[in-house]
Amino acid sequence: MIPPLAVMPFVPLTDSEVIHRVLAGEKKLFELLMRRYNQRLYRTGIALLGHPAAAEEAMQNAWVKAYEQLAQFEERASFPTWLTRIMLNECLMDRRRQQRLVDLDDDTAEDAPDQRPAAGTPLQNLLNEELREALEAAVESLPEMYRSVFVLREVEGLSVHETADALHLTEANVKVRLLRARERLRNQLAHFAPQQAFAYLGPRCDNMVHHVLARLGAQPGAHNLN
Work out how close the CB of 176 gets to DNA at its nearest, in angstroms, rounded to a whole number: 4
Work out how close the CB of 177 gets to DNA at its nearest, in angstroms, rounded to a whole number: 6
Q: Does 189 bind DNA (CB under 7 A)?
A: no
Q: Does 170 bind DNA (CB under 7 A)?
A: yes
Identify the residue among 55, 169, 181, 185 touching DNA (CB under 7 A): 169
Residues 127-156 that bind DNA (CB under 7 A): 143, 145, 153
The region that residue 146 occupies, defined by phi over 0 for left and psi between -120 and 50 for alpha, beta otherwise, is alpha
Q: Are 151 and 87 in contact (CB under 8 A)?
A: no
Q: Are 225 and 32 in contact (CB under 8 A)?
A: yes
Q: Does 78 bind DNA (CB under 7 A)?
A: no
Considering the complex, state which of residue 22 and residue 169 has its C-beta at the smaller distance from DNA: 169
Q: Does 77 bind DNA (CB under 7 A)?
A: no
Query: SS3 of 67, please?
Result: helix
CA 192 to chain centre: 23
Identify the residue among 51, 85, 175, 204 touching DNA (CB under 7 A): 175
What's the rounded Cα separation, in Å, for the pair 160 and 171?
6
In 3D space, the residue among 145, 116, 109, 107 whose CA is nearest the CA of residue 53 turns out to be 116
In 3D space, the residue among 197, 224, 221, 196 whose CA is nearest the CA of residue 209 turns out to be 221
Q: What letter would DSSP give residue 120?
A: S
CA atoms within 13 A on the CB side of 209: 26
Considering the complex, state which of residue 27 and residue 182 has its C-beta at the smaller distance from DNA: 182
Q: What is the dihedral of CA 156, 213, 57, 164, to 10 degrees?
A: 30
Considering the complex, state which of residue 135 and residue 169 has its C-beta at the smaller distance from DNA: 169
Identify the residue among 78, 99, 128, 159 touching DNA (CB under 7 A): 159
Identify the residue among 172, 201, 214, 225 touching DNA (CB under 7 A): 172
Q: Does 176 bind DNA (CB under 7 A)?
A: yes
Considering the complex, state which of residue 20 and residue 182 has its C-beta at the smaller distance from DNA: 182
Backbone angles phi, psi at 225, to 5 degrees: -75, -20
Q: Does 179 bind DNA (CB under 7 A)?
A: yes
User: How many residues bind to DNA according to rule CB under 7 A?
Assistant: 18
Q: Name the residues that contact DNA, by CB under 7 A.
A: 143, 145, 153, 159-161, 169-173, 175-180, 182
